[in-house]
Structure 1
Amino acid sequence: MNTPAHLIFGAGAFARPGARRVTAAALLGALLPDLSLYILGSWALYVQQIPPQTVFNELYFSPSWQRIFAIDNSIPLWGAICVLGLVLRRPAVTALGGAALLHVLLDLPLHHDDGRPHFWPLSDWVFESPISYWDSAQFAWIVAPLEGAACLALVVLLWRRFDSWPLRGLFAVLLLAELWVIRQWLVFF
């Protein structure tokens, strides 16, 4: 899934009105599994000035990048953090771990040939799904509109749940970003 969709889904599942720390933790947890890609990609593209084809066709699949992705996309790791939050009765920790866990569980069935080792440290196995959220040759033309519709429905729900205009604005911006990214994937891939 696209990162804006993960933030919307994470907020929909774990954000709580009147609980700023929990809501912030939900948004952060939804972002963390993708954050390393943004940092590594930005460094390679803008600082090292490596061409995008090299970054996304070679570096993305390199052992060093995949080791990092294995950690921040680990179902056992995020599951343990979520359970720890539940056991310690720390809603913000639960929201952080839960939103990150939701992120990787939603990514698992939507990556065809660009998946990550979601079961680190137990296994380096990578599931190769028959469908993709971005590759039209792997049914993105079906997945992407469904993802967009689900995000629209969740943003309507979040607008009803939260009366904070800054949060409503954030959810609206995330929805617009999601729709723009979907358009890019479908037009170019």
Structure 2
Amino acid sequence: MNTPAHMLVGAALFGRRDRPRTIVMGLAGGLVPDISMLVLVGWSVWIEAIPAREVFSRLCFTEAWQRAFAIDHSFLVWGALAALAIRSRMAAATAFAGAGLVHAAVDFLLHNGDARRQFWPVSEFAFQSPVSYWDPARYGAIVAPLEAALVLALTVLLV
């Protein structure tokens, strides 16, 4: 799922109209798991002038990048944050951590060759889903329009 879709899902699931901060924190929680990717890709393409094709075909699969993705997509990290937030009864923190955890769960279901190590730090295992949000060979031609429809519906709902 694309980052803006993750953000909207987080805001829709955890945001409350009577507490606008929860909407903002839901958006942020949907964004944060992809921050390392956005920074690494942005730096590589715009600062180092590495062609995007090389970034997405080679650099994204290096151990250093995969380690960063493992940390920010870890079920254990996000689960611990969510448990602490729920226990503290802080609605905004719960929205943030819940959205991050949902982001990791959706990516678990929609990444194949670019799967994340979501059980970090206890395992290097990366589940390769049979479904991909972008790869047409793995139903991406079906998932992408569904994602676009979801984004449109959630945008209308949140506005």
| 1:176 counterpart residue number | none
| 1:155 counterpart residue number | 155
Structure 1 residues 20-59: aligned runs within 5 Å: 20-59=20-59
The answer to whether 1:120 aligns with 2:120 is: yes
| 1:86 counterpart residue number | 86
| 1:179 counterpart residue number | none
Q: d(CA) in 1 for partners of 2:31 and 2:60? A: 18
Secondary structure of 1:105 counterpart: helix
Size of the aligned set, in residue pairs, is 159
Superposed CA RMSD in Å reads 1.1
Q: d(CA) in 2 for partners of 1:52 and 1:148? A: 23
> Which deviations, in whole Å up to 9, do the C-alpha atoms of 1:67-108 show, x marking residues without a partner?
111110011111111111110111111111000001110111
The answer to whether 1:107 aligns with 2:102 is: no
| 2:66 counterpart residue number | 66
Q: d(CA) in 1 for partners of 2:11 and 2:152? A: 13
State, as a whole percentage, how many aligned pairs show the same letter.
47
**1:41 to partner: Cα distance:** 0.5
Q: d(CA) in 2 for partners of 1:40 and 1:51? A: 13
**Which has the larger displacement, 146-155 or 72-81?**
146-155
Structure 1 segments of 4+ aligned residues over 6 angstroms from their partners: none
Q: d(CA) in 1 for partners of 2:119 and 2:110? A: 16
Q: d(CA) in 1 for partners of 2:119 and 2:68? A: 13
Contact residue 27 and residue 96 of structure 2 kept, 8 A:
yes
Unaligned runs of 5+ in 2: none
**Which has the larger displacement, 14-23 or 93-102?**
14-23
Structure showing greater Rg: 1
| 1:9 counterpart residue number | 9
Q: d(CA) in 2 for partners of 1:153 and 1:48? A: 37
Residue type at the aligned position of 1:141: A
Q: d(CA) in 1 for partners of 2:64 and 2:158? A: 38
Q: d(CA) in 2 for partners of 1:109 and 1:128? A: 8
Q: d(CA) in 2 for partners of 1:112 and 1:104? A: 14
Unaligned runs of 5+ in 1: 160-189
Q: d(CA) in 2 for partners of 1:140 and 1:81? A: 31
Q: d(CA) in 2 for partners of 1:101 and 1:88? A: 17
Q: d(CA) in 1 for partners of 2:25 and 2:158? A: 16
| 1:140 counterpart residue number | 140
Residue type at the aligned position of 1:143: V
The alignment's TM-score, normalised by the length of structure 1, stands at 0.80
> Which deviations, in whole Å up to 9, do the C-alpha atoms of 1:26-77 show, x marking residues without a partner?
1110000111111001111111111112211111000011111111001111
